[in-house]
Structure 1
Amino acid sequence: MTQFFTTTDGLKLAYDDRGSGHPVLCLPGLSRNMADFEPVVDQFADKARIIRLDLRGRGQSDHDPDYHNYNTIREGQDVLELLDHLGLANVTILGTSRGGLIAMGLAMGHPDRLQGVIFNDIGPVVEPAGLAHIFGYLGVVPEYRDHEDAAHKMAHAMAPDFANVPHETYLRHARALYAETESGVALRYDPLLRQSIMEQAADGALPDIWPLFDALKGFPTALIRGANSNILSAETAAEMCRRQPDMFFAEVPDRGHVPFLDEPEAVAVIDAYLEQIS
């Protein structure tokens, strides 16, 4: 059941909290929402406390009247405020893409609030080709009639980076991304997110994120990479494993950016991490 809390700057953010045991906070990708983590709830809610957050401007959370607040620093503050709201001293973060960047920022600024991090197809180097692909669709409403139409067309558009994906998975993905309306689908995030990201990109090259990742030294970590990812290269993943030699790692075949987290390889990595930390 979706619940809400209010941030210090007055936005109402949506979250879901179920299961018991070690707390795992699931943070979604840039334009995504908590629905992406339904497979994690299905697989692990009997083993851990699975908390899912819709970041500001996404899913069921309020849109920010100032789109400049769509940045990882403010979103990291929202995470801290959610932890305070729930009375949690610290958590493991399962971060997909943007969610993993937020986790690294917290590792540097608020390491006491983390127990560890599971990265889903993200690291300290974000490949330019992947960013260009994201800029191509971010904030643009696609011409899909409904969820079924979206599922069929996404299966074609996402090939060949994604293969052997059941139709039911694409349908779940479409429902997570879009709302159905009488005139077609609608985005489930604030389209002004595009403006914020484009302005941030125009400020210059991305900063060096490796120091943020290195702040996780000594923390339990895990990494899931889509074998065909255009965001997280194999070379960056290898360097992450070198710097964190105890990190659980799996590469998911037939997946690009990002794995759906229902794949056997992804499930096995999350399970191994929880076995270690619980």
Structure 2
Amino acid sequence: MDTLIHHISAWDRLPLQVRQWHVAPDAEPEVGPGAQPDGGPVPQSNPGLDTRPNAQPNAGSGAHRPAGRHHPPPPILCLPGLVRTGADFETLAAEIGHDRRVVTLDYPGRGDSGRSRDVNRYAPEACLRDVMDVCAALHVHRAVIIGTSFGGLLAMGLAAARPALVHAVVLNDIGPDIAGDGADFVRDFVGHDPALPSLEAGAALLRASLPPMSLHTDAAWRRMAELTYRAGPDGLWHPNWDTAIAQLLNRPPPDLWPIFGALAHLPVLLVRGAVSNILLPGTVSRMQAVHPDMEVVSLPGIGHAPILTEPPALAAIQNFLARNP
């Protein structure tokens, strides 16, 4: 699988790490230099784009343009959860990126993107601006957005703020109402640094504390730990995010139903963990009332949030992409 790592200076010069998978040489988007998806100028921060690959392409990549296609299909923009990183989508990208660009990023304060002394730099509004910067820098427009949890809320925000960026949306276990019990767990998890002695201890902690997930082997849990913790200079393993992000979760939640309404005229697929403590059945019913054409796939025995390579979820996403070329 081809992986390109880009480094972009955000609007305030904070460094952002961006991943891009399955880029076929003849499948670059047809957007003129210096143009945003809405036709405006590229922000001054974006000349900081470094397009040199950090990883060499692997032989045998499935990247290609289907026969008879005159224009590349819309790219896929994957937006991770609140303190997750773009690396979460690596396995999914290998399954769905054969004829499309797949782009994702680490938000500020997460993964390999920069840290800030101001916790407000990690707020949803700032992250939304970062996503728009990345789309402008990489000429992403009319994207199919796959948003997990917090990333799904950003997808709604993009549809409201920059409708030309959004072609279709996959929401992963998120809606306009967030259940209180799930929100309390997330706040505690995000704000706690367990300072673990080893990666194996991290895998054990995740296995014991996370909601039910479709991770069935020791190797799968170890990989989840690798994506969640990183070794510090003290030799211990710490969260791969700034734990100050938890402070944002103490604020009263806004009314998110108006921005969900921005998806009313777009194709939408909702993937839900059937035992999710974040997205409750009543919220799904109300979402379907607002958007009757929204497809819903429920994964039995799975909590927040699906990893999207579960067979029913992956099949639904592949079919959704095929119907929205």
| Structure 1 equivalent of residue 291 of structure 2 | 244
The superposition leaves residues 126-176 of structure 1 with CA deviations (integer Å, 9 ceiling, x where unpaired) of 1111111111121211253222222233223236x3466332221111110
2:155 to 73, 80, 103: 103
Aligned-residue offset at 1:52:
1.2
1:114 to 138, 148, 166: 166
Aligned-residue offset at 1:190:
1.3
2:316 to 269, 272, 276: 269
Give the alignment of 1:165-176 within 5 angstroms: 165-176=216-227
List runs of 5+ in structure 1 lacking aligned partners: none
Counterpart Cα distance in 2 of 1:7 and 1:143: 30
List runs of 5+ in structure 2 lacking aligned partners: 24-72
**Structure 1 contact 39–261 (Cα < 8 Å) conserved:** no
Secondary structure of the structure 1 residue equivalent to 2:84 = coil
More displaced stretch, 166-175 vs 140-149: 140-149
Aligned-residue offset at 1:258:
0.6
CA RMSD of aligned residues (A): 1.7
More displaced stretch, 22-31 vs 244-253: 244-253
Give the alignment of 1:41-190 within 5 angstroms: 41-158=93-210, 161-162=212-213, 165-181=216-232, 183-190=235-242
Secondary structure of the structure 1 residue equivalent to 2:75 = strand
Counterpart Cα distance in 1 of 2:90 and 2:242: 22
Secondary structure of the structure 2 residue equivalent to 1:149 = helix
State the aligned residue count. 272
Distance 1:137 1:164, change over 3 A: closer
Counterpart Cα distance in 1 of 2:152 and 2:298: 17
The superposition leaves residues 181-213 of structure 1 with CA deviations (integer Å, 9 ceiling, x where unpaired) of 453211111122122333xx1xx3x22211111
| Structure 2 equivalent of residue 217 of structure 1 | 264
TM, length-normalised to structure 2: 0.79
Secondary structure of the structure 2 residue equivalent to 1:254 = coil
| Structure 2 equivalent of residue 11 of structure 1 | 14
| Structure 1 equivalent of residue 281 of structure 2 | 234
Counterpart Cα distance in 2 of 1:112 and 1:171: 39
Counterpart Cα distance in 1 of 2:231 and 2:270: 34
Counterpart Cα distance in 1 of 2:142 and 2:229: 32
The superposition leaves residues 31-60 of structure 1 with CA deviations (integer Å, 9 ceiling, x where unpaired) of 111121122112112142111110111111
Counterpart Cα distance in 2 of 1:162 and 1:83: 31
Distance 1:79 1:163, change over 3 A: closer
**Structure 1 contact 91–114 (Cα < 8 Å) conserved:** yes
Secondary structure of the structure 2 residue equivalent to 1:133 = helix
Bigger-Rg structure (1/2) = 2
**Structure 2 contact 215–221 (Cα < 8 Å) conserved:** no
Distance 1:243 1:196, change over 3 A: closer
